[in-house]
Structure 1
Amino acid sequence: MRMFGHRRLLAVGAIAAAVVMGSQAAAFASDFIAYPGPGYSGQAIDLSACGYNRIPHGYNGSYVFQYTGQTADAYNNPDASGVAAFRFTGDAQQDTPYGWQSVWIQC
């Protein structure tokens, strides 16, 4: 009887650890930071949701991509469909305007 209780405690602990590890991974997703002006000027927005992220109109002046383990694809259309125009596999930045309209972060 005592061994069964000990095994149950270990199983509950393992499940709790997995949940915490999963939530920590989600908290550190890669970020696409879009700026309205060139040279990283203006009020930036941070797009970091897993999956589809639409780049708002007027936020194509410059960008910073902070890679924390999740790759991302940039698309020339607003719904992240079709063939990706660019794939982020590491940190990247550009201080001049770009044409992408959406980003898909692989989580």
Structure 2
Amino acid sequence: MIDGDTRQELPGEIAVADQPTLLEFTWGSDVLRWELTDNTAGTRLRLTHQLSDRAMAAMMAAGWHICLDVAALLLTGTPIGPIVGRAAMNYGWSELNKQCAEELGVEPIDPRVDG
């Protein structure tokens, strides 16, 4: 995981790999599940992130929102690269964090930001 200038190795283990529609694995103490399904508009991605600490839910949701924005731009042929640390704050992460906290019923956490 990269956040600004901070890199953290998170151990992981694949639990389920059903090509090309499902990947589930541990990410540290969390579980991530990526599911692809066909629909009339193309392909739907469903990401489920089971957190070991619910207090982190809004932060993670805001971060995933930005990651998926980056992925969408990559898929349209306009890659912008990762948005982390201070760049994420400039991309609207704080507001996303507050919105997600309200929707999820948790207190927003404002972390210290590097880089």
TM-score category, normalised to shorter length? under 0.3
Q: Answer 1 or 2: which has greater helix percent.
A: 2
Normalising by structure 1, we get a TM-score of 0.22
Higher relative contact order (CA 8 A, sep 6+): 1
Normalising by structure 2, we get a TM-score of 0.21
